[in-house]
Structure 1
Amino acid sequence: MPRYYFHYRTEDELIRDEAGSDLADLEAAEHQAAEIGKAIIDKVAGEGGEMDAPRSIEITDDDGEELLYVVFWAGPKIGDGTASPINPATVH
């Protein structure tokens, strides 16, 4: 089973995943990255952080080859509600 690494990038920094995860294929890794992105947005929202800054999860393989980017951010505030996560977009 291949090992994938999920590096978290903001405008200011790159947080590298040193452990990685064994997953069936790149599609499973993409779903995992989307879940990570949602968890990050939920955490940022709960802490009152900046919601409209773009963020990404960069998926690499064991050799460090970049395979996929999952870009995410929270959508704009509409009405009286708070910003809410939008569906992650992938860039192959």
Structure 2
Amino acid sequence: MPLYYLHIRIGDKLDADPDGAELPDIDAALAEALKVARELTAEIPGYDGSTVIEIADEDGRTILTLPFSDALGPKH
């Protein structure tokens, strides 16, 4: 199974995922990133719409960027 890294970026600061996760495909990596974003936003108020998760492949290339605002949905 491919290895994906879910790095968290807040502005210029990157919190790199050192271990990664074995997931079947990019869709599973995106689902995991959405889950992580929702959990972190619920637990730590400092994460907001300016925070993103950069999904990187085994070679370290960023293949998808997920803004936390996408995970939170529209504000009411």
TM-score, normalised on structure 2?
Answer: 0.83
Structure in which a larger fraction of residues adopt helix = 2
Deviation of the 1:86 alpha carbon = 2.3
Partners of 1:28 and 1:53 lie apart in 2 by 22
Deviations 1:34-82 (A, max 9, x none): 011001110123xxx4x65510100001101111001014xxxxxxxxx
Deviations 1:9-34 (A, max 9, x none): 01241000010000010000000000
**Which runs of at least 4 in structure 1 moved beyond 3 Å after TM superposition?**
none
CA 1:53–1:30: 2 relative to 1, 3 Å: closer
Partners of 1:33 and 1:57 lie apart in 2 by 7
TM-score, normalised on structure 1?
Answer: 0.70
Greater RCO (CA < 8 Å, at least 6 residues apart): 2
| Gaps in structure 2 of 5+ consecutive residues | none
Please state if 1:67 is matched with 2:53. Answer: no
> Larger radius of gyration, structure 1 or 2?
1
| Gaps in structure 1 of 5+ consecutive residues | 74-84, 88-92
